[in-house]
Amino acid sequence: MNLRTTPTVAETGRDLLRLRAELPGRVALVPTMGALHEGHRTLVRAARQQCDSVVVSVFVNPTQFGPGEDFDRYPRTWDADLAALAEEGADVVFRPGVQDVYGSCALGVTVDPGPLGSVLEGAVRPGHFAGVLTVVAKLFGLVRPDEAFFGEKDYQQLVLIRAMSRELALRVGVNGVPTVREDDGMALSSRNRYLDPEQRRTAATLYRALQAGVDAGPQGADAVLAAAHEVLATAPELVLDYLELTDADLGPAPVAGSVRLLVAVRAGSTRLLDNTRVRLGETR
């Protein structure tokens, strides 16, 4: 275990600006909503490798939760989060309150994610990506990082944040970090703790469906979708929201080459997402 000194915690934008001014070299930002797991730790390690200073934000952002979603019960595990960030060598942890992030938003200016914000996750969770992009833009503005790090597990979020940084000329490098998985392939997620043991066991079907899709890649798009659907059908208790093939930027999938296979299901009241790269029409 890598025991390092506890990071400095900033609880207000003002504290953060003061600490940010003292950080040496290239600065990385890892935005999180806390409830940290090995996937987040991997983001911090990637940030450490690429930059001289690492800021991690811990903020459960209310504007990306819809009515009736899990904002109130979203896991808040501050002591464990801080201990994990000390082990990973984060320099500063920004843990603002809602008022500190949104108190100055009297005119309600937000970031519009454009058409990609209303497909896939956006179709199921209207307004979700406007909430995500708005808070990430604020974090970019406060931290002024050179690089920011996000998990590939939330692939649509990664694509949209990358597009925001590029199209709004925010000058932040947006880095995607591969999904961290359990032994049975299940993608790590803070929401996995909502699953009961039976749901958790069944949830690994998602990964098996993606792998079946990868294996069918040489036979083309229809075969990929059919193979993944066939595996998902073995777990009828998982309610399918979508299973789609896209190109790497979430546009229409080409006939051959590298594409993305994205899936979302509901296990009881818990939504589970996963995705993988697939090579279409080629042997791997």
CB atoms within 10 A of CB 162: 18
Q: Total binding residues for ligand PAF by CB under 6 A? A: 10
The single residue among 27, 154, 177, 275 that binds ligand PAF, judged by CB under 6 A, is 154
Burial of 97 (0-12, 13-18, 19+ CB in 10 A): exposed
Q: Which stretch binds ligand PAF (CB under 6 A): 84-92, 132-140, 179-187, 270-278?
A: 132-140
Q: Between β-strands 238-246 and 173-177, what pairing exists: parallel, antiparallel or unpaired?
A: unpaired
Output 10 or 216, the one with its CB closest to ligand PAF: 10
Both tokens of 170, joined, read 């925010």
Q: Which stretch binds ligand PAF (CB under 6 A): 20-28, 129-137, 169-177, 192-200?
A: 129-137
The single residue among 135, 174, 195, 261 that binds ligand PAF, judged by CB under 6 A, is 135
Please give the Cα distance from 199 to 148 (Å, whole number).
33
Q: Which helix (H) or strand (E) holds 224?
A: helix 221-232
The single residue among 13, 31, 96, 117 that binds ligand PAF, judged by CB under 6 A, is 31
The single residue among 136, 209, 259, 261 that binds ligand PAF, judged by CB under 6 A, is 136
Positions in 51-90 near ligand PAF (CB under 6 A): 61, 64
In the complex, least distance from residue 229 CB atom to ligand PAF, rounded to whole angstroms? 27
Nearest to 26 by CA among 137, 175, 181, 167: 175
The single residue among 132, 172, 180, 228 that binds ligand PAF, judged by CB under 6 A, is 132
Q: Between β-strands 27-32 and 147-151, what pairing exists: parallel, antiparallel or unpaired?
A: parallel
So which residues are the catalytic ones? 40
